[in-house]
Amino acid sequence: MANYAEEINKRRTFAIISHPDAGKTTLTEKFLLYGGAINLAGSVKGKATARHAVSDWMEIEKERGISVTSSVLQFQYHDCCINILDTPGHQDFSEDTYRTLMAADSAVMVIDASKGVEAQTRKLFKVCVMRKIPIFTFINKMDRDANDTFDLLDEIEKELGIATCPVNWPIGSGKEFKGIYARNEQAVITYSDTEKGTKEGEATEIPITDREKLEQVIGQAPLEKLEEEIELLDGASADFDLDEVRKGNLTPVFFGSALTNFGVEIFLQHFLDMATPPLPRKSQDNLVDPVENDFSAFVFKIQANMNKAHRDRVAFMRICSGRFDATQEVKHVQSGKVMRLSQPQQIMADERKILTEAFAGDIIGVFDPGMFSIGDTVCLPKSQICYEGIPTFAPEHFARVRQVDTMKRKQFMKGVSQIAQEGAIQIFQEFNTGMEEIIVGVVGVLQFDVLKYRLENEYNVEIRLDPLPYEHIRWIENKEEVDLNNLSGTSDMKKIKDLKDNPLLLFVNEWSIGMTLDRNKGLQLSEFGRG
């Protein structure tokens, strides 16, 4: 076994998913606080002004005051080296948000206790399910009036189709929030509203058997309610089963308040115990073991213009096996080129650190001369590894795009193709009409602005975007067996193709999808394109 096995086994790499405003940023800040990575909470990315300081790589970000990029944070906590993959938290999130999940070994799902499962959580959750990665749920904002706890769990089970197992249980909420009951320890941890930014402080742990003290501290009525709920819970909830958690079938649920820093460290500790270090990953012919194999990585994100002065492109890679040594030559599998990775760096929220080494589980950013595409593999020259591609995620907004000046067709095509190669947009064409018009699909509408901005600024091409009414796209899984010309769809269905001539269907609503499937027996549609 390689002597860096210990380093790799210390790694925990996870993504945080939530609907905007559920408290993802606040929770991340508190995690970092425990890791000692920052002294003051609030320095990850505060709202408004502070956020600009973090990633002002593009004017659009400044104008809108939102973060388009996702960043990676690394910190140490006890014996673990933690990589948090942050995802853009605005409604206008992009395909990058989905791709980030491809680089994570597990996901933390933050839910606002007064809102329950929200739209964006649902979408990101689907990707976690597809990957079968473990999901840990943190139900946040218990210091505010919350929905009924049983209802919240029910909602997660019904809406997301995953069994839940509460690891702890809240006692009241809002002004009546008294703390949590830790089921394993059979003890109540009393709520203390520690100051923003300080570590969890005054909370005390009282065994559930110490009725007298509990009555004093949390009151008689809340205690009786808790006892009832515990009884109900012990009878009704799924048993804790680590195997099921790791297969992504069961989500451990925790309650707390990120803002007042309550329940966060308990969550972090349990999470680190339950989550796995980097696991073997599927290459075309076999499984690549993170410890036994030499260095290998795959590209999950390409970011253009990180540094405006240099118009650079950075490819983000997830290391899947071995140790990365910056002095060593590596092979870009798709082109066969052997080279040294240029300026390998760890991209933190507000700083970039040049790296000399990194390990399986880590994310590195390297300067990309235009060679890398999403899903590409990099490994040692002698290795035979080629990771499976990253699926294409369904865009939800579509527009016809044309250049205003017809003479600029060439630049226009070059621009949209390059931006599509980076994975910021997907481009399609009409199916069999001979029309050359380009249809662009994006996951978040902000990407349309990004496209317009970049074509004007980098390619000197002004464009016109005409929105199309479609919201759903489906890849045809069994395209060899289907005669597309005779497909009987609904009147609002549109046939298109991607640049590799793969046929796809656009729909205005879910109903049309169902109808089309009904009318064409044997037709297999998919929400994910093969990578």
Nearer to ligand G4P among residue 70 and residue 237 (C-beta): 70
CB of 142 to ligand G4P, least distance (A): 7
Nearer to ligand G4P among residue 141 and residue 331 (C-beta): 141
CB of 28 to ligand G4P, least distance (A): 8
Q: Which of 8, 15, 17, 22 binds ligand G4P (CB under 6 A)?
A: 22
Q: Which region among 20-28, 52-60, 148-156, 435-443 touches ligand G4P (by CB under 6 A)?
A: 20-28
Identify the residue whose tokens are 């958690």.
Answer: 245
Please, are residues 28 and 18 in contact by the beta-carbon 8 Å criterion? Answer: no
Cα torsion angle, 179, 184, 187, 189, sign: negative
Please, are residues 484 and 503 in contact by the beta-carbon 8 Å criterion? Answer: yes
Nearer to ligand G4P among residue 13 and residue 140 (C-beta): 140
Contacts of 433 (CB under 8 A, 6+ apart): none
**Number of Cβ within a 10 Å radius of residue 114:** 15
CB of 93 to ligand G4P, least distance (A): 11
| Site mask for ligand G4P (CB under 6 A), range 76-95, x = bound | -------------x------
CB of 198 to ligand G4P, least distance (A): 15
Helix (H) or strand (E) holding 451: helix 446-459
**How far apart (Å, rounded) are the C-alpha atoms in residues 105 and 16?**
11
Nearer to ligand G4P among residue 24 and residue 126 (C-beta): 24
Nearer to ligand G4P among residue 190 and residue 524 (C-beta): 190
257 interacts with ligand G4P by CB under 6 A: yes
Q: Which of residues 168-197 bind ligand G4P (CB under 6 A)?
A: none
Q: Which of 9, 25, 426, 512 binds ligand G4P (CB under 6 A)?
A: 25
Nearer to ligand G4P among residue 193 and residue 388 (C-beta): 193
Q: Which region among 203-211, 257-265, 415-423, 443-451 touches ligand G4P (by CB under 6 A)?
A: 257-265
For helices 220-236 and 211-218, what crossing angle results, to 10°?
Answer: 110
CA 420 to the chain's CA centroid: 20
Q: Give the pair of three-digit tokens for residue 230.
A: 């515990």
CB of 48 to ligand G4P, least distance (A): 9
Q: Residue count at the site for ligand G4P (CB under 6 A)?
A: 17
Q: Which region among 16-24, 56-64, 337-345, 419-427 touches ligand G4P (by CB under 6 A)?
A: 16-24
Q: Which region among 18-26, 33-41, 185-193, 487-495 touches ligand G4P (by CB under 6 A)?
A: 18-26
21 interacts with ligand G4P by CB under 6 A: yes
Closest CA to 383 of 479, 464, 286: 286
What amino acid occupies position 443? V
Q: Which of 13, 26, 87, 168 binds ligand G4P (CB under 6 A)?
A: 26
CB of 223 to ligand G4P, least distance (A): 24
**How far apart (Å, rounded) are the C-alpha atoms in residues 167 and 377?**
39
Q: Which region among 19-27, 304-312, 413-421, 473-481 touches ligand G4P (by CB under 6 A)?
A: 19-27
Write the DSSP symbol of residue 483: -
**How far apart (Å, rounded) are the C-alpha atoms in residues 96 and 425?**
10
CA atoms within 13 A on the CB side of 393: 27
**How far apart (Å, rounded) are the C-alpha atoms in residues 137 and 140?**
9
Q: Which of 23, 179, 290, 423 binds ligand G4P (CB under 6 A)?
A: 23
Nearer to ligand G4P among residue 160 and residue 461 (C-beta): 160
CB of 262 to ligand G4P, least distance (A): 8
Q: Which of 6, 36, 47, 216 binds ligand G4P (CB under 6 A)?
A: 47
Q: Which region among 66-74, 168-176, 254-262, 266-274 touches ligand G4P (by CB under 6 A)?
A: 254-262
CA atoms within 13 A on the CB side of 113: 25
- 368-370-376 Cα angle (round to 5): 75
Q: Which of 259, 317, 326, 416 binds ligand G4P (CB under 6 A)?
A: 259
**How far apart (Å, rounded) are the C-alpha atoms in residues 222 and 179?**
10
Contacts of 393 (CB under 8 A, 6+ apart): 95, 98, 99, 127, 443, 527, 528, 529
| Site mask for ligand G4P (CB under 6 A), range 135-164, x = bound | -----xx-xx--------------------
CB of 67 to ligand G4P, least distance (A): 9
Nearer to ligand G4P among residue 21 and residue 477 (C-beta): 21
Q: E strands along 220-369, which residues? A: 250-255, 281-282, 287-288, 296-304, 313-321, 323-325, 330-332, 337-339, 345-347, 352-354, 357-359, 363-367
Nearer to ligand G4P among residue 97 and residue 257 (C-beta): 257
Q: Give the pair of three-digit tokens for residue 117.
A: 């499962």
Q: φ and ψ at 320, to 5 degrees?
A: -100, -25
Q: Which region among 255-263, 296-304, 468-476, 501-509 touches ligand G4P (by CB under 6 A)?
A: 255-263
The residues pairing with 391 across neighbouring beta strands, listed in sequence order, are: none
Q: Which of 9, 18, 100, 173 binds ligand G4P (CB under 6 A)?
A: 18
70 interacts with ligand G4P by CB under 6 A: no
Cα dist from 303 to 297, 312, 449, 499, whole Å: 17, 8, 16, 22
CB of 58 to ligand G4P, least distance (A): 20
Nearer to ligand G4P among residue 20 and residue 280 (C-beta): 20
Please, are residues 11 and 277 in contact by the beta-carbon 8 Å criterion? Answer: yes
Query: In the complex, which residues of this chain contact ligand G4P (CB under 6 A)?
Result: 18, 20-26, 47, 89, 140-141, 143-144, 257-259
